[in-house]
Amino acid sequence: MFLGFCAVLVMLAAVCAGGDLRRLATLQFRFGWLIFVCLVVQVLIISVLPDGHTAMAGIAHVLTYVGALLVVWFNRSMFGLPVLGLGAFCNGLAIAVNGGTLPATRSASAAAHVKVDRSGLVNAAPLAHPHLIWLGDIMASPSWLPLRNTVSIGDLLILLGAALLVWKTSGARPFRASDPGDPEPAAADAPEPDMTEPDMTEPATA
């Protein structure tokens, strides 16, 4: 929820910087449908069926990141997507080595007032023996922002990559001046060169 709130702020900021969000409709992602499949799977295993088979749910959680990284790879030429993909890789790696859960520090969870009081698969939580904890949720979102939550380095990279993509595509400053979609100013009319051939005939003698 916090990252979604930040995404809304990014779009509002792009509009204030002169961007046109209607240009986002021109983005054409290869295998973009796979992103929606991954999101649906995450909602099912984390929110709808959290008490299902934990091992299988953990594998499915990791596979959703694999699917997201495939989409990023096939669309890597888009501005900002490599940064977003690096963030997804960081989160996915931390989740993979911790059995399907992103590790979080207890200090960050306490600062964000996040409590995990259920069994089964959770998206992020303090673990007894975490691996690669520095890739986990080691920070808490600012207290002056709503929807407080724990945040990882990967989350920040994902947000940065998405912001770059939105700002570049919408033509917000500072990208407006170099936007290839803007028409170039017409060049000033220049006089056409004289292409007539000179008269090489000799004058007649008396």
**pLDDT value at 105 more than 50:** yes
Task: Give the distance from CA 136 to its chain's centroid.
Answer: 18
pLDDT tens string 56-86: 888 999 999 999 999 999 999 999 999 999 9
Helical ranges in 17-47 per DSSP H: 33-43
In the three-class reduction of DSSP (H, G, I as helix; E, B as strand; rest coil), residue 133 is classed as: helix
Q: What is the pLDDT of residue 82?
A: 95
Q: Average pLDDT for residues 91-113, to the nearest whole number?
A: 93
Q: Which residue has the tokens 């220049």?
A: 190
Q: Give yes or no for a contact between 123 and 102, defined as CB atoms under 8 angstroms apart.
A: yes
- What's 150's DSSP letter? E
pLDDT tens string 115-151: 876 667 888 889 989 999 999 999 998 888 888 889 9
Helical ranges in 17-170 per DSSP H: 33-43, 54-74, 81-96, 106-111, 153-170
Q: Is the omega angle on the peptide bond into residue 183 within 30 degrees of 0, that is, cis?
A: no
Q: What mean pLDDT is reported for the chain?
A: 84
Q: What is the pLDDT of residue 198?
A: 57
The pLDDT-based confidence of 158 (bands split at 50, 70, 90) is very high
**pLDDT value at 186 more than 50:** no
Query: For residue 162, what are the contacts with CB-CB under 8 A and spacing of at least 6?
Result: 7, 10, 80, 84
The pLDDT-based confidence of 181 (bands split at 50, 70, 90) is very low
Q: What is the pLDDT of residue 79?
A: 94
Question: What pTM, to 2 d.p., does this model score?
Answer: 0.79
In the three-class reduction of DSSP (H, G, I as helix; E, B as strand; rest coil), residue 151 is classed as: strand
The residue type of 52 is G
Q: Average pLDDT for residues 155-165, to the nearest whole number?
A: 94
Q: What is the pLDDT of residue 29?
A: 92
Burial (Cβ within 10 Å: 0-12, 13-18, ≥19) of residue 133: middle
Q: Give yes or no for a contact between 96 and 62, defined as CB atoms under 8 angstroms apart.
A: yes
Q: Which residue has better confidence, 191 or 24?
A: 24
